[in-house]
Amino acid sequence: MSAEHLHAQFIRDGHCCIEGVIGPDEIGAIRENVARDVREHSILPPPQGYVPGFLRFNQALAPYLASPKLMEVVETLFGPHSRISMVTGSINGPGIPRGDLHADWPFNQKNASHIPAPYPDAPMHVLTMWMLTDFTHDNGATIIIPGSHRLSDHPRKGGEIDPRQPYPGEQRLLGKAGSVAMLDTRMWHAIAPNVTSEDRVAVIVRYAPWWLNLDPLRPGTVDRADIVEANNGVESPVPPLPREVFDRLPAEVKPLLHYSVEQ
């Protein structure tokens, strides 16, 4: 699909998928490399693996992070000077249960720093899910609610919609290994059960416009101290990128991450 068609689908449905970003000759080695480091550095116990700031430990995806078609779609949404806000290693292992329907930062109302609901009808943050295994119904392909990104809030406990229950029209984010799915972070989505005996491996990379304030995510900043820590708030930290890691990144990727380098 062309970037124009991908953009149109993203605006209409809240998601799109770019196939074949990582070729079949590379995907196996990258998957094993990533899975090893997610297991080693995960801050959550099995069956889930979750590593914030994953680029600190593993740069296997670095050559692909500024892939031309992906960046073309990002630019149609945000214009120039976009940046990578977060890189997270992820494993959904056998036996992982269904999670709550939610939106992601900065729209999730449970986060300390969030855009208050009703939030505006405009994309402000893009979640990309780099599929390192096939995403299937059985292995826990993410649950999504197409079109929910146009709504002004997401399900919350105690509200009219129970986030723990299936929602009419929900789908699975299916795709082949090597594909990259793009989601508007307003779109309702949830962890899905993995009923296979194999891990579902992915890296989640989020892209933001230059004007979106990322400091509440960054330890050591004034905004994180004032907005998150002073209020005992919940907010995933985004650790800084070590200078030696940044220096090894491809030239086309560095502009997406130069703001995040460790001082």
- Helix or strand or coil: residue 52? coil
Share of the chain above pLDDT 90, in %: 96
103 in any annotated domain = yes
Q: How confident is the model at residue 151 (pLDDT cuts 50, 70, 90)?
A: very high
Q: According to the model, what pLDDT value does residue 60 have?
A: 98
Q: According to the model, what pLDDT value does residue 234 have?
A: 85
Per-residue pLDDT at 236 exceeds 90: no
238 in any annotated domain = no
**pLDDT digit string (tens) for 24-67?**
999 999 999 999 999 999 999 999 999 999 999 999 999 999 99
65 in any annotated domain = yes
229 in any annotated domain = no
101 in any annotated domain = yes
83 in any annotated domain = yes
Structure tokens given for 74: 């990002």
162 in any annotated domain = yes
Per-residue pLDDT at 1 exceeds 90: no
The whole-number average pLDDT for the span 215-225 is: 95
Per-residue pLDDT at 8 exceeds 90: yes
Q: According to the model, what pLDDT value does residue 30 have?
A: 98
**pLDDT digit string (tens) for 95-131?**
999 999 999 999 999 999 999 999 999 999 999 999 9
Q: Closest Cα partner for 177 from 196, 201, 206?
A: 201
Q: What is the DSSP letter of 97?
A: P
Q: How confident is the model at residue 257 (pLDDT cuts 50, 70, 90)?
A: very high
Phi-psi region of 140 (alpha: psi -120 to 50; beta: other; left: phi over 0): left
Q: Closest Cα partner for 30 from 175, 202, 207?
A: 202
Which range marks the domain in which residue 146 is found?
A: 3-215
Any long-range contacts for 160-166 (C-beta under 8 Å, 24+ apart)? Answer: 161/101, 163/100, 163/101, 163/102, 163/190, 164/98, 164/100, 164/101
β pairing state of 200-208 and 180-184: unpaired
Structure tokens given for 143: 């649950």
Q: Closest Cα partner for 223 from 211, 233, 214, 215?
A: 215
Instruction: Mark 78-111 as b/e (b = at least 16 C-beta within 10 Å).
Output: beeebbbbbbbbbbbbbebeebbbbbbbbbbeeb
CATH code assigned at 27: 2.60.120.620
pTM: 0.97
Per-residue pLDDT at 244 exceeds 90: yes
Q: With the CA atoms of 208, 254, 6 and 124 taken in that order, what torsion angle do they form, in degrees rounded to the nearest 10?
A: 0
Overall number of domains in the chain? 1
256 in any annotated domain = no
Spatial distance between the Cα atoms of 54 and 37, rounded to a whole number of angstroms? 9
